[in-house]
Amino acid sequence: MAKTDSENENGWIERVKEEGDFPLLEPENCPNGWATPPADTFRVRGPEYFLKNVKIPGGEYLLKPLGFDCIKGPAKISQVLKDPKNRVRKVLDEEFPTGNKPRVWAFNFQFPSKENHSVIAYFVAREPIPDGSLLDQFWKGDDGFRRSRLKVIANVPKGPWVVRKAVGDNIICVIGRVLTCHYYVADNVMEVDIDVGSSMGATSIGRLCLGYLTKITIDLAFLIESQAESELPERILGAVRFSQLDVAAAREVELSSDGSAANLQSSLTKRVISNAVTITLHSLFPDADITTSKCLDV
C-alpha cells in the first residue's frame, strides 16, 4: 500500500533522526546526543535595531531540525550531501525517487584534527521559501552574498571554565568573514562547509573544544544577517545543541572519488598562506585583533 504524502513527509524525517549515531534527546539532558535548544536562548536584531540597537529573543525557527552527525575521515570531509552514500542523501533518494524532494540544509564544521572530524547539523524547510526573502536570496545568490550574510551564534552553556572563557558567551559572527566557507548548492540541498582550520584563532579554540568534547555542551545557531530595516527582525534558520560527545565513537566515512581527498592539499596550502599573512599582520600591528575584528556582530 502506498504511503500518503503526510506519512511520507513525517516518516522520512523520523528515519533520518533515528538512524544517526547520536540520539536526539531533550535539550535539558542530552549527554552523548543532540537536541534543539530553545530559540529564546539566542538574541537577534529586533524590528527597531537600526534606530535603537535593541535585540530580541530569537523566536520560532524558520527550519525544522533534521539530524546531526559527528564523523571522521582520511581527509577533510566536504560536500556530504553530494555523496549518494551519505545517510541523509540516501534517505532522500529512497523516499523521493521521482523528485520533488524537500529542501535540506547542512552546516558542516570541519575541525583541524588528526582524524579530520566533522560536526554536521541538518535542517529541512517544511514550507515553501517565499520569493525574494532573505532565505530565497541566500539560496539563489552568489557566494559573495552568502559569505557576507551567514551568521553563527556560539555558546557553551555547560563545561569547564577554560572552554567557556575561550568561546565566550553567545558570540555572534558573520562566519564567512573569518573562516573559509565553501557552498554546495543543488536543486534541493544547501550545504555550507566551514573550515575551522582556516583561522589560527579558531584552530586553537576548535582543538580545545575537541579535547573537552566529552565534558561540554555547545549551542550553535544559524541566521542570515539583516542589513536593512526592511529585512528586520532577524529570524534564526535553526539551531543545534550537542553535549558530552564521545568523539572516539565518531563513525569513519569513506570519501567519494570526486575531490574531497584531492582538495586537502589545496586547503592546506591556503591555510599556510592565510596563517603566514596573519602572523605578518600581527608583527606589523601588534595591538590589532586581526582574527576577530571583522567577525563580531556590533
Task: Supply the pLDDT for residue 257.
Answer: 63
Burial class of 273 by CB neighbour count within 10 A (0 to 12, 13 to 18, 19+): exposed
Position 263 confidence tier, pLDDT thresholds 50, 70, 90 = very low
Task: Supply the pLDDT for residue 287.
Answer: 53
Res. 264: pLDDT tops 60: no
Position 258 confidence tier, pLDDT thresholds 50, 70, 90 = low
The residue among 106, 110, 261, 79 whose CA lies nearest residue 180 is 110
Task: Supply the pLDDT for residue 8.
Answer: 54
170: Cβ–Cβ under 8 A, 6 or more apart, which residues?
42, 43, 153, 154, 155
Task: Supply the pLDDT for residue 167.
Answer: 87
Task: Supply the pLDDT for residue 242.
Answer: 97
Residue with cell 588528526: 114
Question: Which tens digit of pLDDT belongs to each residue from 166-202?
Answer: 888 889 999 999 999 999 999 899 999 999 999 988 9
Mean pLDDT value across residues 225-254: 95
Provide the 3-class DSSP secondary structure of residue 257.
coil
Rounded CA-CA distance 252/234 in Å is 37
Position 284 confidence tier, pLDDT thresholds 50, 70, 90 = very low
Task: Supply the pLDDT for residue 291.
Answer: 46
Question: Which tens digit of pLDDT belongs to each residue from 111-161?
Answer: 978 899 999 999 999 889 999 999 999 999 999 999 999 999 999 999 999
Position 110 confidence tier, pLDDT thresholds 50, 70, 90 = very high
